Amino acid sequence: MCIQNYISIGGATERKTFLMLKTQDHWNTFAKTAASLVQMFNFSGVDIDDESGNLDAGGDWAKTAQPQVVGYLSALRKELNALPRGPYRISWDEFPGSLEDGCNNPTTEYGRCFPTKIL
């Protein structure tokens, strides 16, 4: 297939919403809902536009939010893998400075260090 279509979840106006996905139940609900939309509309996968940053995550996104990201992405991967047609893809939007020194500056609103555990 030359053209792929993804459901995009998140964005700047929903950046704090991702920080509320704190428990396995939240991750499972998120994943099941996203997977059902992929199946219903025949999407190629899910684009995660999680724009939460250090400032929103108490000054340390890697400590407070990264475990949640790994949790909800793992749950999403599991749900997508369980769908009958596939493989489905997950894309992740990252900030340009996330691989630079100082990426964990606690006052950076749109900044964080790249969560390598999602690879």
Contact at 8 Å (CB) between 17 and 68?
Answer: no
- The owner of tokens 């894309």 is 91
Mean pLDDT by 10 residues, the chain (119 residues): 90 90 97 98 96 88 91 97 95 90 87 87
Phi/psi for 90 (5° steps) reads -125, 125
Q: Which pLDDT belongs to residue 73?
A: 96
pTM of the model: 0.91
Phi, psi for 110 (deg, rounded to 5): -110, 65
List, as one string, the DSSP characters of 37-93.
Answer: HHHHHT-SEEEEE----TTTTTT-HHHHTHHHHHHHHHHHHHHHHHSSS---EEEE-
Residue 116 dihedral angles phi and psi, to the nearest 5°: -60, -20
